[in-house]
Structure 1
C-alpha cells in the first residue's frame, strides 16, 4: 500500500528539530532478523498521531501572538505577514495528518508481520482513554485492515481510563517533579538573541524568552495541522539558534520530566514493562505499581496468546517506559545550559508524533530471544548482553528488568509520599 500521510513542504532536518512535535520518521530502514532467527511475537507501543497544541500550550501561544499582533508598525519586513495573520488552530485533538500517520503504521505492521496473523489470532489493541489516543488506535486498526484487503479486521479491545490505574499514561505519580528548572535555564540560554531580534522588528511587543519558545512552536503545529509550510517556519529559519534551541528544550523536558533526570520518572514505566514481560513469557502479570489488576487478570482484557499486541499512549509515558527498561541511558545527565552534540537522547528520535517502540520476540534456533526497535532503529541492549544484531535471550532480558520486577525498588511508594 502507498502511504497516505502527506509530505510537508519542510526539509526533513528541520522537522527533526521540532522535538516531540516532529512527525514520525524511521531512524533506520527496517532490518529483518539475521538468518536462523524468526519473529514469533510483536509488541508495539505507539504514541498518538500529530495533534493540535494542548489547551495549556494554546493559551501560551495566543498570549504571545496577542503581543505581536497588537504592534501597529513592523520595522522588519519579515514580520509583515502578521498584518493579516489569524490563528485558527484547535486544541488537544488529533489532526488529519496524525490520523494518516496511524493508518500508515497499521498498514506497515500488517505488511511486515502478516505471517503472524490469522482469523483466530488478530492483533490485540489497547489505548489510553484520551480521545486523540483512542482515535490513533482506531486509525491503526483501519490501516491494518485495509492492508490485508479487509481479510483481518482487528478492533480496539481495551480503553484504559486515565482516571484509574493505567500503564499507558503518566498520571499516577503525584510526587514526581517537573522539568521546569532545566527547560527555563535553557530558554534563558538560547532564546535572548531571538527575543531581541523580534522585539526590534516589532516595537513595543515586549516579548519574553518564554513567548519566543511558544511562537517557534507555531511553525510545527501550523504546518502539520494545515499541511502546508507555516510562515512562522520562514520567520525563525533566519535565526540560527531557533530550531536547534527548540529541539534541545524538548530533549531536556522529557529527560527531566519522566526520564532518567527525574527521580520518579522511570518508575512510571514499570507497570507496562511488567505487562510486556507477561506477554513475552506467557505468564500472568506480576506487578504492584500502576497496572489495572481487574483487567490484567482477565484473559478477555489481557490475553497471553496473541502474536501481535499494539498499545497506544503518550510521549511522557513512553519516555518513562524507555527509562524503566534501560533504553537511551546517557553517560552523564543532560546539561541545561550546554547540549552535548554526541547525545543519543533526541526526542525527535524517541517520541515524535506516532513514534513507536517495537519489541520482537524471536526464536533463534531453540532459544527464545528479544530485540527492540525504536522508530526502526535496533537498540544495542547492552544491559542484557545482546549480540551485534541487538538480540539477547529472553531469559537474559527478563533478568535485566529487575527494577520493574521489583516494582521500582521502592520508588512507587515515593510517588505518594
Structure 2
C-alpha cells in the first residue's frame, strides 16, 4: 500500500549511492526523445498498448479448430488519471513544483538552455481523477472488447457495431451486470468503457443524452463502496488492515527511494548544469521530472519534461515502479496473495456456477449471494478496479511466470525480466479470462492468431463443444497457465487449460494466502529493504517475520 506521508527512506533519494556493477552493457547513454519508446517505460502509468499475443512466452497463440470463446471475464483497470498523493507519486511531483514556484518568487535568477521553459512553467495538474485522455482510452477498450468478444459471444449480425439488448426475435436478453468501485476514476472508467462497448455513437437514430448507455436499460450496475466500510474485492486493500501499516504495506516504496540515486546520479548532475545558483537539483527532483513527463502526457498529451533522460534512465524509472508493486502487492509482500484472493474466489464461483454465501476474505457475500448482483452464466463479466488488484490476483493464483523479483541494485535492469508493469498494468490494463468450448478434449494447437469473423468459422459448433477450457490474456498477451504452481495446467503450448484442471490448480490458493493472519495478525517485518521474496504470504516462524509480543493498541 503506497503511503501518503514521507517515509524516512525518502531522505536517501538525495544521497549518493555506491556504484552498482551491471551485467548488461550500458549502450543506451544518449538522450532519447521518441515518446513512443519513452511512454512504454512508465510502469503502471504507461500509455496503454496491446501486448503481442506471445509476449509472455506462449508459443502457439491461435485458437484451435473446433473451438470458440463462449464467455469472457475482464478485470479492467482505470485509465489515465492525475497523480495521487502517494509519497513516490504525486507527492514528489507537487513538492518539485512547489520548490520551483517558491524559488521563482524569491529569486530573479533563471534556468538556462533546455531548462529555460521552467522560467515560465506553472504546474497544471489536479489530483487522482480520470483525465480526458483516460476517458478516451476506456472508450476505446470498450469498443475493443465488443470487437474481440461481444461479436462472438452474442453471435452478432454482419455490420453490427455494438451490443443489442434484444434477441433477433424481439425478446429481451438477460442484462449484463457491470461492477465498479465508488471511487471517481473507477466509476468514470466504467462509464466510458460502457459507452464504447454498448455502442451509442453508432445508433441509426442518435441519442445525445446517452442515458441508456451509462445505466438502466442495457445493463445493471453494482457500485461497491471504497474506503473500508465493507468488503470489496475490487479494492481489496480496504479489507486487509495490515496493508496500511508502515513497514508492511510500503515495502516497495522504501525500495524505490533506495534505488533512485543508483540510477539518477548522472541525470541530476546533467540537469544541474542548467540550473541557476541557489537552486539545487536533488535526485528526488529529477525523479519528479520523470513523473511529470508521464502524467502530463496522460493529461494533455504533451510535456516539456521528457527529453532529458537516456534509455537506461527510463529503464531505471520503470524498475522503480516494478519494485514498488512487486514488494507492495505481489510475491514480495506478505499480504500479496491475501489482497488478490477475493477476486480469484469470485472468478472460480462464476466458472463453476456457484454463489458465495459466506465470505472468508475480501469477498462481499451480500453481493455474491444473489442473481441480481452476481448472476451466473452471463456471456461476459466486466469488473472495474485498480492496477494493484491485478498484480495481487496473479500472485494469489500462483502464476509463477511473474515470480521474478525486480533487482533492487542492478542498473540498467535486466530487459528480459518477467515482472514489468508496462506490460502488466498500464493505464487501461486488463486481465481477461476466456472460457473456450471445444469439440475435442485435446484440440491441436494453432501457432498463429486468426481473426474470428463469426463463431463457426473454424469448425466450432455450440452443440458439440462439450469440452471446456480456460485461457487468460493480460492486455492481449496470452498468459502461460502451464506456469501455475502444482502443474495442473501443464501439457499444452497454447496457454489453454482444461476448465476442471484450472479449477483444481486453485485448490490451495486460499490456504496459501493465509488471509486472516496476513491481514489481521500481529506481526512485523525484520528488514524492510532486503528484497526478500515472501511468496506473497506470511505464517508463524517464517524467515524475516517477527511475531509481535507487545499488545496491540486495541488491547491497551
Q: Do both proteins adopt the same fold according to a TM-score greater than 0.5, normalized to the shorter chain?
A: yes
Q: Tell me how far apart the structure 2 counterparts of residues 48 and 409 of structure 1 sit (CA, whole Å).
A: 26
For the residue of structure 1 that corresponds to 2:268, the secondary structure is helix
Which residue pairs with 1:335 in the alignment? 407
The match for 1:308 is 380
- Cα distance, 1:340–1:411 mapped onto 2, change above 3 Å: farther
Structure 2 match to 1:5:
none
Is the Cα–Cα contact under 8 Å of residues 252 and 336 in structure 1 kept in the other structure? yes
The answer as to 2:231 corresponding to 1:165 is yes
Q: What's the counterpart of residue 9 of structure 2?
A: none
- Aligned counterpart in structure 1 of residue 332 of structure 2, from 254, 261, 266: 261
> Does residue 283 of structure 2 align to residue 209 of structure 1?
yes
Which residue of 135, 138, 158 maps to 1:99? 135
**Alignment check: 8 A CA contact 1:274 1:404 kept:** no
| Structure 1 equivalent of residue 84 of structure 2 | 54
3-state secondary structure, aligned to 1:232: coil
Q: TM-score, normalised by structure 1?
A: 0.91
Aligned mate of 1:63, from 86, 89, 95: 95
Q: CA separation in 2, counterparts of 1:105 and 1:122?
A: 20
CA distance 1:75–1:61, change in 2 (3 Å): closer
Separation in structure 1 between the aligned mates of residue 361 and residue 146 of structure 2, nearest angstrom: 33
SS of 2:241's equivalent in the other structure is coil
CA contact (8 A) 1:40 1:360 kept: yes
Contact 2:401 2:480 in 1 (8 A): no
RMSD: 2.3
State the Cα distance separating 1:32 from its structure 2 match.
Answer: 5.3
DSSP 3-state at the match of 1:358: strand
SS of residue in 2 equivalent to 1:171: helix
What TM-score does the superposition give when structure 2 sets the normalisation length? 0.69
Paired residues of 1:47 and 1:315 also in contact (CA < 8 A): yes
Partner of 1:4: none
Distance 1:300 1:156, change over 3 A: closer
Give 2:71's aligned residue: 41
Match of 1:280 among 351, 364, 369: 351
> Residue 392 of structure 1 aligns with which residue?
497
Match of 1:21 among 45, 57, 63: 45
| Secondary structure, aligned partner of 2:256 | helix
SS in 2 for 1:370: strand
Residues 262, 409 of structure 2: 8 Å contact kept = yes
Deviations 1:345-381 (A, max 9, x none): 1100000000011100111223211000000001111
Secondary structure of the residue aligned to 1:371 is: strand
Q: After the TM superposition, which residues 31-180 of structure 1 pair with which residues of structure 2 at under 5 Å, given as runs?
A: 33-56=63-86, 57-69=89-101, 70=103, 72-74=108-110, 76-113=112-149, 114-117=151-154, 119=166, 120-146=173-199, 149=202, 154-155=218-219, 157-162=221-226, 163=228, 164-169=230-235, 170-176=237-243, 177=248, 178=250, 179-180=252-253
| C-alpha distance in 2 between matches for 1:59 and 1:312 | 25
| Secondary structure of the structure 2 residue equivalent to 1:201 | coil
Deviation at 1:330, TM superposition (A): 4.3
Q: CA deviation at 1:123?
A: 3.2
The correspondence for 2:321, drawn from 233, 247, 250, is 250
CA distance in 1, matches of 2:220, 2:124: 32
Conservation of the 8 A alpha-carbon contact between 2:329 and 2:336: yes
- Partner residue in 2 for 1:3: none
Moved more, 330-339 or 138-147: 330-339
- 1:310-340: CA deviation from partner (whole Å, max 9, x where unpaired): 0110111111111112336346532211123
| Kept in 2: contact 1:46–1:311 (CA 8 A) | yes
Q: Which runs of 5+ in 1 are unaligned?
A: 1-8
* Residue 20 of structure 2: aligned partner: none
Partner of 1:6: none
In 2, Cα distance between the equivalents of 1:288 and 1:150?
Answer: 45
Deviations 1:34-91 (A, max 9, x none): 2121111100011001111113443421221233452643464011011111111111
SS of alignment partner, residue 262 of structure 1: coil
Q: Which has the higher helix share?
A: 1
Give how far 1:106 is off.
1.0
**Aligned 8 A contact 1:124 1:157 in 2:** yes
Gaps of 5+ in 2: 1-32, 55-60, 155-164, 167-172, 205-211, 440-465, 522-556
Structure 2 counterpart of 1:319, from 366, 374, 391:
391
Q: Does 1:349 align with 2:398?
A: no
Tell whether the 8 Å contact from 1:34 to 1:389 is kept in structure 2 after alignment.
no
Q: Secondary structure at the match of 2:233?
A: coil
Aligned twin of 1:376: 476
Q: Does structure 2 retain, via aligned residues, the 8 Å contact 1:128–1:159?
A: yes
The one-character-per-residue Cα deviations of 1:230-280 (angstroms, maximum 9, x if unpaired) are: 00012x24x454311111111111111101111111211001001001111
Aligned length: 405
Indicate the larger mover: 204-213 or 306-315: 204-213
Deviations along 1:379-404, one digit per CA (max 9) or x if unpaired, are 11112225111101011111111243
How far apart, in 2, do the equivalents of 1:245 and 1:410 lie? 34
C-alpha distance in 2 between matches for 1:63 and 1:414: 34
CA contact (8 A) 2:146 2:197 kept: yes
